[in-house]
Structure 1
Amino acid sequence: MSKLAFFRPDDDRAAEAAEIVRGLGHEPVSDPMLEVDPTDESPRTDADYTVLTSKTGVELAAEAGWEPSGEVAAIGSPTAEALRSAGYAVDHIPEEFSSTGLVAHLRDAVDGTRVEVARSDHGSPVLTDGLEDAGAYVHETVLYRLVRPAEAGQSAELAAEGELAGVCFTSSLTVEHFLDAADERGIRAEAVTGLNQAVVGAIGDPTAETAEANGIQIDVVPEIAEFEVLAEAVARRL
């Protein structure tokens, strides 16, 4: 079985990803590049619209006892499923699961309203700037920070040795942390060369742009920004 690497946080997301990769006939290489560091903040409760951008954010909001007063928007179906599982109603899901897609979905509704954006410390300004341009009064709450685990980097070593057949990058930050781990080991050039000999997938255009700006060739960008769709697309190319 050929090795396919991914960088999901070391929780049920990594376990689910490994199961998906095995089901596609490849050996999973789980190298978590993101670790959640909660800020103990909670989304505001007085907004007309509250935007959640991740399952992690939903879980932290629910643990804090957050109760929204207005409508709730999820950036994509995984976030929406997490909201519903936690007992929240979901009023808005964009057709395109991205910051750009969410801005386009809400643009005509938010002029003059208060919009709360609750997410990580690495959220794209595309979302907040776009909502402000649409006339909303935007407040952002950082629910958690995303840091690189100290032990991360096995995938960089495998890439440098030419042992990875496929790679799934699920955010710009996973690309950056992969390269940081390679830098620490003094194998960045070798790791990038190894990636460029593999099939590399990016979950969306911003992730692809980050990778390509750092010399990593992207072979696959799925139409739907979900890990399973990304992994299937990489596996098809393999």
Structure 2
Amino acid sequence: MSRQVRVAVFRPDDERIGDAVELLSSLGADPVPDPMLAVEATGRTPEDAPYVILTSKTGVELAAERGWKPAPETTLAAIGPATAEAAREVGWEVDLVPKEYTSAGLVEALEGHIEGVRVEVARSDHGSDVLTDGLRAAGGDVHETVLYRLVRPESAGHSTERAAEGELEAAAFTSSLTVEHFLEAAAERGIEEAARKGLSSAVVGAIGDPTRETAESHGITVDVVPGEATFESLATAVVERAAPSYHE
């Protein structure tokens, strides 16, 4: 007999939350979808530069919708396979995807190539300083364009109540902001400490080390960080940890 595994998932309220629910269901889990992010476009597009970095599928889609495309001589870098796939779907050639799908991975991939060179970073308003600081340390002339803002939807937070009641076996955090928004939603309900306690008895997954560090800085113990920073890897690792088969 398999253990019931209710997994809170916080992907944005678009096709990503639907895909997450489908994936978790296919893994035998009971998804608890609670989108913690909503996108507000700024209307801006990336500036042309010898190197342009895109850090999300959302950024690609917003730039493409406004008619932007990389110049033929531009080296286009994507932070990971999902971003790269989105770029290829709109007809752009992706020149670089780092081995490690993180800001630090991008910096490592570009070190030695960008000294004195203009580097455009196009992303959300909550992008990590690890990327821009690291590129500057590598000698790059870095410019950042905010393509969109990430806000907490008004409806977000029912998963915090489930956590406070001990009704979650797992939670899958996909960014530092999802951690912060989860705790903000709990605080608004007056159940922040109860929700944090509920997570302490659940399996908590973080998509990468920056998300893990944020969670731990807020007193949330992280049990799982997948080797690959993708939602599929995160979901699989969380469910495997939370739902070992057992026999009565």
TM-score interval w.r.t. the shorter chain?
over 0.9
Q: Give % identity.
A: 62
Q: Deviations over 1:160-189 (max 9, x none)?
A: 000001110000000000000000000000
Question: What residue number does 1:155 align with?
Answer: 159
Question: What residue number does 2:245 align with?
Answer: none
Q: CA RMSD in A?
A: 0.6
Q: Deviations over 1:200-227 (max 9, x none)?
A: 0000011011111111110000010000
* Structure 1 residue 130 corresponds to structure 2 residue 142: no
Question: What residue number does 2:5 align with?
Answer: 2
Question: What residue number does 2:37 align with?
Answer: 34
Matches within 5 A, 1:175-214: 175-214=179-218
What letter is aligned with 1:199? V
CA contact (8 A) 2:212 2:225 kept: yes
Question: What residue number does 1:115 align with?
Answer: 119
CA contact (8 A) 2:5 2:239 kept: no
What letter is aligned with 2:64? A
* Structure 1 residue 12 corresponds to structure 2 residue 21: no
Query: What's the CA shift for 1:26?
Result: 0.9
Q: Deviations over 1:104-160 (max 9, x none)?
A: 000111111111000000001111111111111111000000000011001100000
> Structure 2, unaligned stretches of length 5 or more?
243-248
Query: What's the CA shift for 1:53?
Result: 0.0
Name whichever of 175-184 and 64-73 sits farther off. Answer: 64-73
Cα distance in 2 for residues equivalent to 1:2 and 1:58: 34
* Structure 1 residue 92 corresponds to structure 2 residue 96: yes
Structure number with the bigger relative contact order (C-alpha 8 A, sep ≥ 6) is 2
Cα distance in 1 for residues equivalent to 2:170 and 2:22: 16
Residue-pair matches, total = 237
Query: What's the CA shift for 1:67?
Result: 2.1
What letter is aligned with 1:44? E
Matches within 5 A, 1:159-178: 159-178=163-182
Q: After TM superposition, where is structure 1 displaced by more than 2 Å over at least 4 residues in a row? A: none
1:36 aligned counterpart, secondary structure: strand
Query: What's the CA shift for 1:2?
Result: 2.4
CA contact (8 A) 2:120 2:143 kept: yes
> TM-score, structure 1 length as denominator?
0.98
> TM-score, structure 2 length as denominator?
0.95
